[in-house]
Structure 1
Protein backbone atom coordinates (compact mmCIF):
# COMPACT_ATOMS: atom_id res chain seq x y z
CA UNK A 1 0.00 0.00 0.00
CA UNK A 2 2.87 2.33 0.74
CA UNK A 3 4.41 1.93 -2.69
CA UNK A 4 1.05 2.44 -4.39
CA UNK A 5 0.43 5.66 -2.48
CA UNK A 6 3.95 6.89 -3.22
CA UNK A 7 3.56 6.29 -6.96
CA UNK A 8 0.06 7.82 -6.81
CA UNK A 9 1.53 10.92 -5.12
CA UNK A 10 4.27 11.26 -7.74
CA UNK A 11 1.71 11.03 -10.55
CA UNK A 12 -0.47 13.61 -8.79
CA UNK A 13 2.53 15.90 -8.34
CA UNK A 14 3.40 15.69 -12.04
CA UNK A 15 -0.23 16.35 -12.92
CA UNK A 16 -0.18 19.37 -10.61
CA UNK A 17 2.82 20.80 -12.46
CA UNK A 18 0.89 20.45 -15.74
CA UNK A 19 -2.14 22.16 -14.18
CA UNK A 20 0.00 25.26 -13.55
CA UNK A 21 0.20 25.87 -17.30
CA UNK A 22 -2.33 28.51 -18.38
CA UNK A 23 -5.51 27.06 -19.91
CA UNK A 24 -4.83 23.72 -18.20
CA UNK A 25 -5.99 24.86 -14.77
CA UNK A 26 -9.20 22.88 -15.24
CA UNK A 27 -7.05 19.85 -14.43
CA UNK A 28 -7.21 20.85 -10.77
CA UNK A 29 -10.86 19.83 -10.68
CA UNK A 30 -9.79 16.25 -11.42
CA UNK A 31 -6.52 16.46 -9.55
CA UNK A 32 -7.96 17.12 -6.10
CA UNK A 33 -10.18 13.97 -5.98
CA UNK A 34 -7.34 11.94 -7.54
CA UNK A 35 -4.94 13.04 -4.78
CA UNK A 36 -7.62 12.47 -2.14
CA UNK A 37 -7.88 8.82 -3.21
CA UNK A 38 -4.08 8.58 -2.95
CA UNK A 39 -4.22 10.04 0.56
CA UNK A 40 -6.83 7.47 1.58
CA UNK A 41 -4.66 4.67 0.20
CA UNK A 42 -1.71 6.06 2.17
CA UNK A 43 -3.78 6.24 5.36
CA UNK A 44 -4.85 2.63 4.92
CA UNK A 45 -1.21 1.73 4.33
CA UNK A 46 -0.24 3.46 7.57
CA UNK A 47 -2.87 1.48 9.48
CA UNK A 48 -1.90 -1.95 8.20
CA UNK A 49 1.88 -1.65 7.92
CA UNK A 50 4.44 -2.43 10.59
CA UNK A 51 5.88 0.68 12.26
CA UNK A 52 9.35 0.15 10.80
CA UNK A 53 8.05 0.04 7.21
CA UNK A 54 5.77 3.08 7.09
CA UNK A 55 8.15 5.42 5.24
CA UNK A 56 6.61 5.02 1.80
CA UNK A 57 3.08 5.43 3.11
CA UNK A 58 4.05 8.56 5.06
CA UNK A 59 5.73 10.03 1.99
CA UNK A 60 2.71 9.20 -0.17
CA UNK A 61 0.40 10.85 2.35
CA UNK A 62 2.60 13.94 2.44
CA UNK A 63 2.82 14.21 -1.36
CA UNK A 64 -0.91 13.78 -1.83
CA UNK A 65 -1.62 16.27 0.96
CA UNK A 66 0.63 18.88 -0.64
CA UNK A 67 -1.05 18.34 -4.01
CA UNK A 68 -4.52 18.77 -2.47
CA UNK A 69 -3.55 21.99 -0.68
CA UNK A 70 -1.84 23.51 -3.73
CA UNK A 71 -4.74 22.48 -5.98
CA UNK A 72 -7.29 24.12 -3.69
CA UNK A 73 -5.19 27.30 -3.46
CA UNK A 74 -4.76 27.35 -7.24
CA UNK A 75 -8.50 27.00 -7.79
CA UNK A 76 -9.32 29.71 -5.26
CA UNK A 77 -6.81 32.15 -6.78
CA UNK A 78 -7.93 31.44 -10.33
CA UNK A 79 -11.62 31.86 -9.52
CA UNK A 80 -12.36 28.15 -9.86
CA UNK A 81 -14.81 28.11 -6.94
CA UNK A 82 -18.26 29.46 -7.56
Structure 2
Protein backbone atom coordinates (compact mmCIF):
# COMPACT_ATOMS: atom_id res chain seq x y z
CA UNK A 1 0.00 0.00 0.00
CA UNK A 2 2.80 2.43 0.84
CA UNK A 3 4.43 1.65 -2.50
CA UNK A 4 1.27 2.76 -4.33
CA UNK A 5 1.18 5.98 -2.29
CA UNK A 6 4.84 6.57 -3.12
CA UNK A 7 4.20 6.03 -6.83
CA UNK A 8 1.26 8.46 -6.72
CA UNK A 9 3.46 11.06 -5.00
CA UNK A 10 6.07 10.40 -7.70
CA UNK A 11 3.51 11.00 -10.46
CA UNK A 12 2.49 14.30 -8.85
CA UNK A 13 6.17 15.21 -8.60
CA UNK A 14 6.65 14.33 -12.26
CA UNK A 15 3.67 16.44 -13.36
CA UNK A 16 4.83 19.47 -11.38
CA UNK A 17 8.41 18.91 -12.47
CA UNK A 18 7.47 18.95 -16.14
CA UNK A 19 5.91 22.36 -15.60
CA UNK A 20 9.13 23.43 -13.85
CA UNK A 21 11.11 22.64 -17.03
CA UNK A 22 9.46 25.62 -18.74
CA UNK A 23 11.58 28.75 -19.02
CA UNK A 24 11.21 31.17 -16.09
CA UNK A 25 9.55 28.49 -13.93
CA UNK A 26 12.72 26.88 -12.63
CA UNK A 27 11.95 28.18 -9.15
CA UNK A 28 9.27 25.46 -8.95
CA UNK A 29 12.06 22.90 -8.56
CA UNK A 30 12.48 24.21 -5.02
CA UNK A 31 8.91 22.97 -4.40
CA UNK A 32 9.14 19.77 -6.43
CA UNK A 33 12.29 18.34 -4.82
CA UNK A 34 10.85 18.24 -1.24
CA UNK A 35 7.72 16.51 -2.55
CA UNK A 36 9.99 13.90 -4.12
CA UNK A 37 11.87 13.49 -0.85
CA UNK A 38 8.59 12.79 0.95
CA UNK A 39 7.70 10.25 -1.74
CA UNK A 40 11.08 8.57 -1.39
CA UNK A 41 10.64 8.39 2.39
CA UNK A 42 7.21 6.80 2.03
CA UNK A 43 8.64 4.39 -0.54
CA UNK A 44 11.45 3.46 1.84
CA UNK A 45 8.85 2.34 4.38
CA UNK A 46 7.25 -0.10 1.93
CA UNK A 47 8.46 -3.60 1.16
CA UNK A 48 8.79 -2.85 -2.58
CA UNK A 49 11.36 -0.55 -4.20
CA UNK A 50 9.46 0.79 -7.22
CA UNK A 51 8.06 3.98 -5.69
CA UNK A 52 11.27 4.78 -3.86
CA UNK A 53 13.36 4.35 -7.00
CA UNK A 54 10.96 6.51 -9.05
CA UNK A 55 11.20 9.35 -6.55
CA UNK A 56 14.98 9.10 -6.27
CA UNK A 57 15.34 9.34 -10.06
CA UNK A 58 13.00 12.36 -10.13
CA UNK A 59 14.92 14.07 -7.32
CA UNK A 60 18.19 13.60 -9.22
CA UNK A 61 16.73 14.90 -12.51
CA UNK A 62 15.17 17.99 -10.95
CA UNK A 63 18.23 18.73 -8.82
CA UNK A 64 20.35 18.64 -11.98
CA UNK A 65 17.89 21.00 -13.66
CA UNK A 66 18.13 23.31 -10.67
CA UNK A 67 21.94 23.25 -10.81
CA UNK A 68 21.99 23.96 -14.54
CA UNK A 69 19.65 26.90 -14.02
CA UNK A 70 21.90 28.36 -11.35
CA UNK A 71 19.56 27.66 -8.42
CA UNK A 72 22.20 25.61 -6.59
CA UNK A 73 25.75 26.87 -6.90
Runs of 4+ in structure 1 over 3 Å off: none
2:57 partner SS: helix
Partner of 2:9: 8
8 A contact 1:19–1:27 mirrored in 2: yes
Instruction: Please list every run of 5 or more consecutive structure 2 residues that lacks an aligned counterpart in the other structure.
Output: none
RMSD: 1.0
For structure 1, the 5+ residue unaligned runs are 47-53
How many residues are paired up? 72
Within 1, Cα distance between the matches of 2:33 and 2:9?
A: 12
**Greater Rg over alpha carbons, structure:** 1
Distance in 1, Cα, partners of 2:9 & 2:25: 20
Tell me the TM-score normalised to structure 1 length.
0.81
